[in-house]
Chain A
Amino acid sequence: MRRTPLIWIVLVSLLFGLSAPWWLGAYFLGIFTTAYYFGVFAMSWDLLFGFAGEVNFGPTFLIGLGAYGAGLLNTAGWPIPLCLAGGALAAVVGGVALALPALRLRGPYFGLITLVAVLLLIDFIVIFAGVTGGEIGMMVPDVLSISARVNYWYAFGFLVISGAILFGLSRSSLGLILQATGQDRIEAAALGFNVTKHKLAAFVISALFSGLAGGMLTFYEGTASVDTVVDLSIAVQIIIAVVFGGRRTILGGVLGAIFLVLFDELLRPLGQLNTFVVSAIALGVILFLPDGVLGVLLRPREGR
């Protein structure tokens, strides 16, 4: 009984996504393309946070490494697929470098270290503005495609494949172990599971998908900038997307991401103030709806 809504939701969404190019204009296809990449960001984050229980406040550290890594390689003349691989590798390396000190820490320090990582990356990009374009951003020579439809298919395909893998992982034995260690690390360790190894695995997977998605987003827009892939406001949006969609559901992140992007678009006529309104609403979401949409849908209220 509990499974049914999820399958229906997934099927309806897939139908929507597959049919979109036939009845959505080029502009809205573009909106959804961005939303799909955002969805992958959200899913990667949920794996780490929701399951491994690690409060990662700097998903944009990994995304940024993937995006700028891919962008810089492309400026150096490499073809897109190699750049994407390079960017993902950079993200994984960064993820491991971050995980090593972070996993040794308890309590608030882990989250803080991830936050510091984002700040460090931003500073690094700004200092070496000559190479990275600084705060304003850098242009990359190649793009995936000029056609809105082709870009949409790339993004949709990437989303579906990533979603399948990440969701599958979350329901696999790895996912269960991560959940166990997330909820009670001492007991998990007592049961013989290598807590650190599994959390490290979660980090690596999260980094891989984040970095890859960051790279693809860069080749979709033709630019990499702090504003789109590194800034803390993006990290916050990812967290909001997951909270809104439902933590620990993986797929909820996609819903939340799409909703957030659409909402931002809807408020565009407000001009400068649309960020203000979106942030205010996001604030409302975390204050009043912390379980998120899917969270409410999929978990029956047992005797509350």
Chain B
Amino acid sequence: MLALQILIDGFAISALYGLGAVGFTLMFGVCGVLNLAHGGIMVIAGLVGWWAAANYGAGPYGGAAIGTLAGLLAAYVTYFVVVRPIQRSRTIPRAEEEIFLLTGTLLWGIMIQVGSDYVFSNNPVTMRAMIPGVMHIAGVRTPRNEVLIGIVCWAAIGLLTLLVNRTRLGKQLLAASINPRGLTLLGFELSRIYLVVWTIYGLLAGLAGVLLASFIGVSSANAGALTASAFTIVILGGLGSVPGSLIAAYVVGYAETITAYLVAPTLRPIPALLILVVVIYVRPQGLLGRR
């Protein structure tokens, strides 16, 4: 009974972690950008979604859609205002581009957090469940919304996989992540590909933020922690590897859940940290990372 509880509870939270991490790692894999404003984008999506649903009368589904779009918008701003200027800058030497990108996106993330704080206060808010009520899965009482979230996460990930593996656009993305120069030589416009990736990223992060708001709740104070969590999972799984991030998300999700249930709720974040430390020392490129 307890085992089933852990299985179900861990599944939903891991799926949510996975959705957030997949976008993050895709961004690095194809564009080479570690977006430290990631948590901020998720939070904005969640907050706007809540506001639209509660104050604007859009209802949970409308709110979810508006929130996701808000996430997309935030992602676009991140790209056009912060990332692209740094990538195209002539005064920043190539070797230091990475640190400027990290710093720039982090600053932007801080701006999002403070801005949200100002507009929404740091009180956590939750979006009303899209499907209220509970259901019983083999005797375990589970909120229906939680099940829905798990399904939506995997549907999104499934769509992404289809896109990457089956469509022409997807193949271009894959190629760009392996050898961007080669791709341009073949006549493909990198900037168009980057735009596509940022769009996918914005939708994924926005959706993750909205689902998080619906499942657990979200507040401007979470922005940093969400980035850190996505970051940890992505390093664990291997930068740039989508399957790696998914596996890592489940490892972290279940490690946390098992600890919370069987050891103590206070020690919940510890196993993920320990695993991370071990990985850094033993295999820094992560489980499925290249290089």
A touching B, CB within 8 angstroms: yes
Q: Among B130-138, B205-213, B268-276, which stretch is in contact with chain A? A: B268-276
**Closest A residue, CB atoms, query B234:** A112
Q: Quick check: B111 and A276 within 8 Å, CB to CB?
A: yes
Contacts of B96 in A (CB 8 A): 55
Q: Quick check: B111 and A290 within 8 Å, CB to CB?
A: no
A108 at interface by CB-CB < 8 Å: yes
B26 to chain A, nearest CB (A): 16
A6 at interface by CB-CB < 8 Å: no
**Closest A residue, CB atoms, query B93:** A290
- List CB contacts (< 8 Å) of A272-304 with chain B: 272-273, 275-276, 279-280, 282-283, 286-287, 290-291
Q: Which residue from A120, A273, A280 sits with its C-beta under 8 Å from B277?
A: A120
Beyond A120-B277, A236-B107, A276-B114, whether A115 also contacts B284 by CB under 8 A is no
A-B pairs with beta carbons under 8 Å apart, 18 shown: A55-B98, A55-B99, A57-B102, A109-B291, A111-B102, A115-B231, A116-B231, A116-B235, A116-B276, A120-B273, A120-B277, A233-B106, A243-B103, A279-B111, A283-B107, A283-B108, A290-B92, A291-B91
Question: What are the 4 closest A-B residue pairs judged by CB atoms, nearest first?
Answer: A276-B114, A119-B228, A55-B99, A283-B107
Q: Quick check: A127 and B267 within 8 Å, CB to CB?
A: yes
Q: Quick check: B118 and A273 within 8 Å, CB to CB?
A: yes
B189 at interface by CB-CB < 8 Å: no
User: A83-114 interface mask toward B, CB cutoff 8 Å, 1 = contact, 0 = none?
Assistant: 00000000000000000110011111101110
B120 to chain A, nearest CB (A): 12
- List CB contacts (< 8 Å) of A96-152 with chain B: 100-101, 104-109, 111-113, 115-116, 119-120, 122-124, 126-127
Additional A-B contacts beyond A105-B284, A233-B110, A236-B110 (7; CB < 8 A): A55-B98, A108-B34, A109-B285, A111-B98, A116-B235, A279-B107, A287-B86
**Closest A residue, CB atoms, query B221:** A135
Q: Quick check: A101 and B231 within 8 Å, CB to CB?
A: no
B170 at interface by CB-CB < 8 Å: no
Q: Quick check: B104 and A286 within 8 Å, CB to CB?
A: yes
Q: How large is the interface on B (under 10, 10 to 19, 20 to 34, 35 or more residues)?
A: 35 or more
Name which of A55, A107, A239, A283 has the most chain B CB atoms within 10 A of its CB.
Answer: A283
**Closest A residue, CB atoms, query B268:** A127
Cα distance, A240 to B117, chains bound together (Å): 23
Q: Quick check: A287 and B89 within 8 Å, CB to CB?
A: yes
Interface residues of A, Cβ cutoff 8 Å to B:
49, 53, 55, 57, 100-101, 104-109, 111-113, 115-116, 119-120, 122-124, 126-127, 231-233, 236, 239-240, 243, 272-273, 275-276, 279-280, 282-283, 286-287, 290-291
A29 to chain B, nearest CB (A): 28
Q: Which residue from A49, A127, A280 sits with its C-beta under 8 Å from B266?
A: A127
Q: Which residue from B106, B108, B270, B284 sits with its C-beta under 8 Å from A104?
A: B284
Beyond A112-B34, A112-B235, whether A280 also contacts B111 by CB under 8 A is yes
Cα distance, A104 to B291, chains bound together (Å): 13
Cα distance, A231 to B110, chains bound together (Å): 11
Q: Quick check: B99 and A232 within 8 Å, CB to CB?
A: no
Cα distance, A101 to B276, chains bound together (Å): 13
